[in-house]
Amino acid sequence: MAIFCTLLVFIIIAAFIAVETKKLLSAVICIGAIGFGASIMFLFLWAPDIAITQIVVEVLGLIILIRATISRDRTFIAGDREFFGMIVSLVIILVIAVAGVSVFPETLPDFGTPVFTETSNSASQTYIEEGLEKTGAANLVASVILDFRAYDTLGEATVLFTTIIGATVILRKKTKKLLEEPDL
């Protein structure tokens, strides 16, 4: 439990630095630190599938962001933060904190002990008991995301596919030529 609190404090400090720093490269590196902290937390929660995906995506996203920031001429943020926006965000954070402190300790279960493990015939218990027999996959996560809940995977694949198609259409050379031409 102590290691989760330590990692949470580390992640929150990294997030504050990423928002408040002036240099874009430092902000990108702090975002990478957030991802690696989350990956270590998943490892300690016995979820290696999520940890592998998190750390790999984090590395690739970091490469993309660093290439995008180094290529810019202005790698720092000029000007001060708006006073009104800071007040509004502080009020929002205070309201969420007060609500969390007053409501959550009675309703939320302890960290790392989900509600599904306490009831007998819930969905996750059914997956654990009958997953190997019904799908034949030793990795229960694979049997859930590709057999029981494959609709979610199809939706995720569709989102990725649509994003790539949109990026290809917008960033290709023909679009640039069309943008430079005057409207008829």
Partner 1 sequence: MKGMTIIVKNISSFVKVLIFLFGIYIILFGHLTPGGGFAGGVIVASSYVLLMLAYGREFAEENLSLPTTSRLDCVGALLFAAIALFGLFYGATGFFWNFIHQKELWGQPLKLLSAGTIPLSNISIGIKVGSSLFLVILILSSFRLETSASEKE
Q: What is the CB neighbour count within 10 angstroms for residue 26?
A: 16
Task: Give the footprint of partner 1 on residues 109-168 (CB under 8 A).
Answer: 132, 134-139, 141-143, 145-147, 150-151, 153-154, 157-158, 160-161, 164, 167-168
- Residue 40's nearest CA partner among 12, 6, 69 is 6
Tell me the closest approach of the beta carbon of residue 145 to partner 1, in angstroms.
Answer: 7
Separation between Cα atoms, residue 24 and residue 107, nearest integer Å: 40
Q: How far is the CB of 154 from partner 1 (least distance, A)?
A: 6
Alpha helices in 71-122 (DSSP H): 83-107
Q: Please pick, from the candidates 60, 90, 96, 97, the single residue that binds partner 1 as defined by CB under 8 A.
A: 60
3-state SS, residue 112: coil
Least separation in angstroms between CB 161 and partner 1: 5
Cβ nearer to partner 1, comparing 9 with 52: 52
Min CB(118)–partner 1 separation in Å: 26
59 vs 90, beta carbon nearer partner 1:
59
Instruction: Kindly tell me which of 59 and 86 has the beta carbon lying closer to partner 1.
Output: 59
Task: Fill in the amino acid letter for 73.
Answer: D
Helix (H, G, I), strand (E, B) or coil at 120: coil
* Residue 93 interacts with partner 1 (CB under 8 A): yes or no: no
How many residues belong to the site for partner 1 (CB under 8 A)? 41
Q: Please, what's the b/e burial string for 134-168 (b: 16 or more CB within 10 A of its CB; e: otherwise)?
A: ebeeeebeebbeeebeeeeeeeeeeeeeeeeeeee
Cα→Cα distances 47→5, 97, 140, Å: 18, 28, 11
138 versus 184: smaller Cβ distance to partner 1: 138
Residues that bind partner 1 (CB under 8 A): 48-49, 52-53, 56-57, 59-60, 63-64, 67-68, 71, 132, 134-139, 141-143, 145-147, 150-151, 153-154, 157-158, 160-161, 164, 167-168, 171-173, 176
